[in-house]
Structure 1
């Protein structure tokens, strides 16, 4: 099975660091990074600000390792690391993920 892991980072440098680390360590096949605006409640206040989203494609069995790695290097007290299982996808693309992520 395969999953998408969604992560947010405070700036592009941190997002690149996280994405690169996940791919280098073969925890993810790919990490897409994009700018986002987030509105959220933090310590009793409504906050709004720019962040960067990361979408990492991986094997479902690697999600916990990704969460652990992100928590090791992330600057946030409570980083967003959530996963979604892929129900379907291009068989060629899923094979590429299979081959790119360490077993």
Structure 2
């Protein structure tokens, strides 16, 4: 069975995170996005140390969608170089894993068993 995948990223604000997250849920690339507002960041960018407010986001998906999800996230993201970290899941509650996998199946995928010969 394919394993769940968590993707960590940051956004400049909750509205952009929620809008992009909703689009990715509708496309069935993720089952869920958790948006954690109020994060303070200190980071190096183009030779300068910067400070800023951001929101962290954790996206729940499946390992097989890692590349297409990263491309879709990058295409929509407001940052020039968004942070996109794939966090493999070593273990998960069976019901949680099943929900993530079911919600990230293509809408036209059939779950029927293959015909016997």
After TM superposition, is the score higher than 0.5?
A: yes
1:24 aligns with 2:26: yes
* Structure 1 residue 101 displacement after superposition: 0.5
Which of the numbers 87, 90, 96 marks the counterpart of 2:99?
Answer: 96
Which of the numbers 67, 87, 93 marks the counterpart of 1:64?
Answer: 67
2:41 paired residue number: 38
* Structure 1 residue 75 displacement after superposition: 1.3
* Structure 1 residue 86 displacement after superposition: 0.4
Structure 1: unaligned runs, 5 residues or longer? none
How far apart are the structure 2 equivalents of 1:54 and 1:20? 12
1:73 paired residue number: 76
TM-score by length of 1: 0.94
How far apart are the structure 1 equivalents of 2:20 and 2:9? 9
The alignment covers a number of residue pairs equal to 103
Structure 1 moving runs of 4+ over 6 Å: none
CA RMSD of aligned residues (A): 1.0
Give the number of the structure whose residues are more often strand, by fraction.
Answer: 1
TM-score by length of 2: 0.84
* Structure 1 residue 70 displacement after superposition: 1.2
Give the number of the structure whose residues are more often helix, by fraction.
Answer: 1
Which of the numbers 68, 71, 84 marks the counterpart of 2:87?
Answer: 84
SS, match of residue 75 in structure 1:
coil
1:48 aligns with 2:51: yes
Structure 2: unaligned runs, 5 residues or longer? 107-117
